[in-house]
Amino acid sequence: MSKKIIFSESQISHIVNTITNEKKLNESYYDSEKSYSLEYIKSVTKKAPRYIKKIISDLPQFDCPNGSGNCIKIPQVIFQYIKGNF
């Protein structure tokens, strides 16, 4: 015997938005060769635990290719923290 489940328009909209947001998160992937602005990384990790900030402070810095300050290459743990998959 099968049951009928009735959803309201707002419930369906919520389900679609949730699936879309999860898909967007999964489309972001870690690239170990990608450069990130040091200022950007510091700004998005302001409220991070101390050990995350320590990892960032120990990373080697270099001039950004576009000439806009210092850049770093982040490890996957920092990427996951920023993307919310931590």
Provide the domain limits for residue 49.
9-83
Q: Residue 59 domain-assigned?
A: yes
Q: Residue 44 domain-assigned?
A: yes
Residue 4, CA distances (Å) to 7, 9, 14, 24, 39 in order: 10, 16, 19, 31, 53
Q: Residue 1 domain-assigned?
A: no
**In contact, 63 and 51? CB cutoff 8 Å:** no
The total number of structural domains that make up the chain? 1
Q: Residue 4 domain-assigned?
A: no
| Full-model pTM | 0.63
One digit per residue, pLDDT tens: the chain, 86 residues? 788 888 898 888 888 877 776 665 555 688 999 999 999 999 999 999 999 999 999 999 999 887 778 999 999 999 999 988 66
